[in-house]
Structure formats: structure tokens, C-alpha cells
Amino acid sequence: MITLIQNGSVVTKEGMQVLDLLFEEDKILQIGHNLKGYDHLIDATNCYVTPGMIDIHVHGGGGHDFMEANLEAFQKATDFHLFHGATSQVPTSISASNEAITAFLNAYKQAMNSNTIKARLVGAHLEGPYLSPDKKGAHPLHFLRHPEFEEYSKWIENYPFVKRMTAAPELEGGLSLGDYLHNQGVNPSIGHSNAYGLTIKDAMNHGYNSVTHLYNAMSTVGLHQGMKAAGVAEMALLEKDLYVELIADLKHVPVELIKLAYLNKTADRLILVSDCLSPAGMGEGQFFLGPENDKVLIDVKDAAYLHNQPTLAGSIATVNQLLKNVVSIGIDFIDAIKMLTITPAKLMKLDHLIGSIETNKCADILIMNEKYDLVHVICQGKIIR
Ligand SMILES: [Zn+2]
């Protein structure tokens, strides 16, 4: 079946213009004016037509956490985020036992092979367990450890869909972890790190090419070995090549610092992520984070906090909300779309398939009204909403 999306303001590499678009199954056939030869018509007059969004850091949603490590959790969480515009998702673990992380990876594999997941699964992200105890955030302290080749090589070799790992490069073994991941085609990301200045430069020379959730759980300028030094936050802004994740839920990062990151990194290196937790879409109350037998209690209000503490545990935002948030603070709409589509696609080395509206690329398309509310979500050529 060939579908025509007619008369929408289509966001392409060249900018935005009113165009028609034809797709069939999971392929964009043609983009142009007055296109004909279709079986199904979607009128997109007065609507934006954008690429599907890519969330490279998401822990769960719709009441389920990927660390539940079963097919149902993967279905419910991916469906929830797909409905809100994340056509591609990178399910993310938290620091846990070897068994719990392996179970998460087995569940990913089961989900991938089940043909029941409607969103595009584009890799797994291991956030931890090789994180700094000084910057643990919501990760359970007793699971943090130094990188151990025996452990991580099994995750990477047995589960080739692992595409990202967040680690603290200053830990003993942190740089050889970076080299190993880089050589295996996995993106090592600096995060939950207490590194300073030269250690961060070193990490970049050992394969680390991104920074996880800028301004959260990382060092900032301060005294290091008796000298003032730049922390991960400043180095992330300074180093042009580093991709940078930013949680744009307007809770994790103040507006001024979002603007500072946007000015420094530009839409070519800044990636908006949800870092979303299971309670998203479930209202306020008490929820759990992490694997079944090692749960962390969280309080959900305007965001998710560690129980009875002011520490943020993650967001309850969807990618569509991230878009609205950054546009509301004055960031250019087309740049905002970039930071949710082609830029993460480039980091994931999937920009030849997804992340932009181009002939022959995958049919992951969003249609939004003038308030950026989603009217339609199309993923892998299927109309989801
Ligand atoms: Zn984190």
C-alpha cells in the first residue's frame, strides 16, 4: 500500500517547505509537489511533517522498566514512547548485578526476535555499572564497581546489539574499557564521572565520544589535586567533537544552561534525551526503579525523585514533550528536531537509514499540529496513531 502525506510543512535537510511525501512499507519513495499514485491519503495541511524521533537514553515508561527484563515490559515501555513520537529507542539499563544486566540483555534479544515490538529497537545502552561512587545519582552504590574485562567482554560479545555504554573513564580500567568498546563498534559515553581536565582528554583518545546527561551526575570546575581544573561539564562544552546528551524536561537542567549547551555544542552535537523512567504516563505517586529484587523507591511528582530526597532519579518526559520544552525557551524548531533525530542517528551510525526525511530512507514520520501535538506517528511504514 502506498500512502501519500499531502501538503505538510516537511522538515528536510534543506529546511522546511510545503511538500507531498509518498511512502510504501518501510521506505520513503518520493518527496515533491503534486505527487500521484497512492492508495491511502493523509492530509497534512497546516501540520509539520518531521522524521521520527530517536531516544538514545530511556529506562522505561507506561508503568514498566526495561530492567524488569521481560517481553511485556519491553512491549509496554516501547509502545508508550512510540505513541509519543520515539520511533527509534535505545533501552537503557541501570547499575545492577551481572545477573540482572544479563537478564536485561536477554530480554532485549527476546524482544528483538519477537516481532511484537512496534518501535524500532536501535541498540541497548548500558548505563553503568562502572560509575564513580562520587557521582552515583540514582544508581545503587553497592552495585558500582571498576570495569572488569571478564564481565564486560561477555556482554559485548554475546549481545552485539549493545551500542552504548556510560562509564566513568577515571576508574581503574576505564581507559582500556573505552578502547575495547571503540574497537567493538560500541560508543563509550562519559557519565556519572568525577574526572577532570586531562583525564577527559585522555578518555577521548581512548574512544569516548559522548557525554551522558550533561550537568547531571558529573564533575564541574573545582579543585583537583590542589589545582583548579575543568570538570566533565566544562570539557563537554569545550570539546567540539564530543556528542552531548541533555535531559530537556526543564527539571534536570535550568533553562540558562540548556541555552549555554545549545550555543556551545550546536544542534550538530547536542542530543535531547528523555532519561525517562517507568512511571511516565502513570500519574503521581510512589514507584520503583530497577530490577525486580533490587528496587529503588522513587516519588513521582513533577519529576521522579529518590524517595524522601531532593535527588532527581530520572524524568517522566516523552520526546514530544522535550521538543515542546526547548521550543518554548526559544530554540529554533528545526534545530530542536535535529537534536531529536539526525544528530542521535549520527552518533548511533544509523544516519543512512533513519533520522531524516529523504528518498529511500526508512518510513519513520511524525505529523504534528501547529502546537506540536502529535496527530500521526508512522513507524517502519505503519500508522501507529
Ligand atoms: Zn544517569
Q: Are 65 and 38 in contact (CB under 8 A)?
A: no
Mean of the pLDDT values across residues 379-384? Answer: 98
For position 164, what pLDDT does the model report? 98
Q: Are 314 and 306 in contact (CB under 8 A)?
A: no
Mean of the pLDDT values across residues 104-127? Answer: 97
Q: Position of cell 509502545?
A: 79
Residue 95 cell numbers, joined? 547499575
Q: Which of 307, 321, 165 is CA-nearest to residue 251?
A: 321
Q: How far is the CA of 45 from the centre of ligand 1 (A)?
A: 40
**Is residue 292 predicted with pLDDT exceeding 80?**
no
**Is residue 291 predicted with pLDDT exceeding 80?**
no
Q: How far is the CA of 20 from the centre of ligand 1 (A)?
A: 40
- The residue ranges of DSSP E strands in 38-135, in sequence order, are 40-43, 48-51, 53-58, 60-61, 64-65, 86-93, 120-121, 124-127
**Is residue 289 predicted with pLDDT exceeding 90?**
no
Mean of the pLDDT values across residues 156-166? Answer: 98
- HSE value, Cβ hemisphere, 13 Å, CA-based, for 183: 9
For position 290, what pLDDT does the model report? 72
Q: How far is the CA of 60 from the centre of ligand 1 (A)?
A: 13
Q: Which residue(s) pair with 280 in the sheet?
A: none
Mean of the pLDDT values across residues 275-292? Answer: 88
Exposure of 230 by Cβ count < 10 A (0-12 exposed, 13-18 middle, 19+ buried)? buried
Average pLDDT, the chain: 96
Q: Are 275 and 65 in contact (CB under 8 A)?
A: no
Among the residue ranges 20-24, 27-31, 197-201, 274-278, the one predicted with the least confidence is: 197-201
Mean of the pLDDT values across residues 138-165? Answer: 97
Q: Is the dihedral of CA 280, 281, 283, 286 positive or negative?
A: negative
What share of the chain in percent tops pLDDT 70?
100
Exposure of 318 by Cβ count < 10 A (0-12 exposed, 13-18 middle, 19+ buried)? buried
Which residues, other chains included, contact 340 with Cβ-Cβ below 8 Å and sequence gap of 6+?
Answer: 53, 54, 271, 272, 319, 322, 323
- Tell me the pLDDT band of 132, cut-offs 50, 70 and 90: very high
For position 296, what pLDDT does the model report? 83
Mean of the pLDDT values across residues 194-216? Answer: 96
Q: How far is the CA of 129 from the centre of ligand 1 (A)?
A: 11
Secondary structure element (H or E) that encloses residue 245, with its range: strand 243-247
What share of the chain in percent tops pLDDT 90?
94
Mean of the pLDDT values across residues 285-293? Answer: 81
Q: How far is the CA of 95 from the centre of ligand 1 (A)?
A: 9
- Separation CA 170–CA 280 (nearest Å): 33
| pLDDT tens string 64-107 | 999 999 999 999 999 999 999 999 999 999 999 999 999 999 99
Which residues, other chains included, contact 150 with Cβ-Cβ below 8 Å and sequence gap of 6+?
Answer: none
Q: How far is the CA of 59 from the centre of ligand 1 (A)?
A: 10
Q: How far is the CA of 190 from the centre of ligand 1 (A)?
A: 11
For position 197, what pLDDT does the model report? 86
Mean of the pLDDT values across residues 347-364? Answer: 98
Secondary structure element (H or E) that encloses residue 224, with its range: strand 222-224
Q: How far is the CA of 192 from the centre of ligand 1 (A)?
A: 6
SS3 state at 183: helix
Q: Are 224 and 200 in contact (CB under 8 A)?
A: no
Q: Which of 281, 273, 246, 294 is CA-nearest to residue 104?
A: 294
Domains, the chain, with CATH or none: 2-50+358-383 (2.30.40.10), 53-347 (3.20.20.140)
Among the residue ranges 56-65, 82-91, 305-314, 346-355, the one predicted with the least confidence is: 305-314
Secondary structure element (H or E) that encloses residue 163, with its range: strand 162-167
| pLDDT tens string 307-333 | 999 988 889 999 999 999 999 999 999
| pLDDT tens string 223-238 | 999 999 999 999 999 9
194-198, Cβ contacts within 8 angstroms, sequence gap of 24 or more = 194/132, 194/134, 194/135, 194/168, 194/170, 194/218, 194/219, 194/231, 195/132, 195/168, 195/169, 195/170, 195/219, 195/231, 195/232, 196/224, 196/229, 196/230, 196/231, 197/224, 197/229, 197/230, 197/235
How would you classify residue 290: left for phi > 0, otherwise alpha for psi between -120 and 50, otherwise beta?
left
Mean of the pLDDT values across residues 37-55? Answer: 98
Q: How far is the CA of 160 from the centre of ligand 1 (A)?
A: 22
Mean of the pLDDT values across residues 133-158? Answer: 96
Among the residue ranges 119-133, 280-294, 308-322, the one predicted with the least confidence is: 280-294
- Biggest CA-to-CA distance, the chain: 71
Q: How far is the CA of 337 from the centre of ligand 1 (A)?
A: 23
Q: How far is the CA of 297 from the centre of ligand 1 (A)?
A: 16
